[in-house]
Amino acid sequence: MSGKSELQQIIASRQTSKVLGDIDHPLKPSGLKKDKIDAWIEAAGNAPFHYQAERLHREKLTSQVPWRMYKLDADDCRELLSELKLSAPEAGKILNMLAACDALVLATWTPDQCSDDQLMFEGTERNMEHIAAASAAAQNLILLATESGYRTYWSSGGILRTPVIFDRFDIPLCEILLGAIFIYPDDVGTSEIKEGKLKDARGKLEDWSRWVSAST
């Protein structure tokens, strides 16, 4: 017995897996169903949030939560791969990931006001807390996929964060991509798997936390 709860074990076992499939011979989808992805996302949406998304973000998807999740199953990922192979070969490794994943979730957050390109968003406490809440939801999703035995990768997104993709999927340009979350099966055949660069850079508990004392 490790003495760790199931949740502790799941959190500890989560690690970045960047799975690079062959763009000309994509992996056969493993059978992960939309229902299952939705069940994870519904549960992930129990993340805490402090402030409501502004009204401007509530026209298409109407929730007050400061995050939005746009979901592609394996078939749609392969479809997008076929399109981008022709139209945007510079997308690079994102193409390889689309060739291997069972699902892709584009997780966005909803900044207050709609900023121009110069300033992505205003550095306010509200915006910081929108990002914090959206990140909690994203991590929940990753942990649920991990619990079910799937590999995951939280990516900044490369081409997936550009207006080309937002327009393609009718994602409001005022939203900002927080992460492109790739979900892969455990068995990815001969595909190359890359780990996160900073996987072993955390240090120990005492390197990033300390007890503070309130007594004099």
Q: Indicate if the alpha-carbon torsion angle 4, 2, 36, 67 is positive or negative.
A: positive
User: Minimal distance in Å, beta carbon 160 to ligand FMN?
Assistant: 10
19, 179, 183, 188: residue in contact with ligand FMN (rule CB under 6 A): 179
Which of 29/129 has CB closer to ligand FMN? 129
Residue 108 within binding range of ligand FMN, rule CB under 6 A: no
Q: How many CA atoms lie within 13 A of 15 on its CB side?
A: 15
- Distance between CA atoms of residues 216 and 210, nearest Å: 17
User: Minimal distance in Å, beta carbon 195 to ligand FMN?
Assistant: 6
DSSP code string of 125-187: HHHHHHHHHHHHHHHHHHHHHHHTT-EEEEE--GGGGSHHHHHHTT--TTSEEEEEEEEE-S-
154, 166, 182, 184: residue in contact with ligand FMN (rule CB under 6 A): 154
Give the range of 32-40, 69-77, 97-105, 148-156 binding ligand FMN by CB under 6 A: 148-156
User: Minimal distance in Å, beta carbon 179 to ligand FMN?
Assistant: 5
Residue 22: φ, ψ to 5°: -90, 120
64, 156, 164, 169: residue in contact with ligand FMN (rule CB under 6 A): 156
1, 198, 205, 212: residue in contact with ligand FMN (rule CB under 6 A): 198
Strand ranges, E, within 2-159: 17-20, 67-73, 103-109, 151-155
Residue 70 near residue 106 (C-beta atoms within 8 A): yes
User: Minimal distance in Å, beta carbon 152 to ligand FMN?
Assistant: 9
User: Minimal distance in Å, beta carbon 76 to ligand FMN?
Assistant: 21
Closest by CA to 138, choosing from 21, 20, 47, 204, is 47
Residue 196 within binding range of ligand FMN, rule CB under 6 A: yes
Contact residues for ligand FMN, defined by CB under 6 A? 15-16, 154-156, 179, 195-199
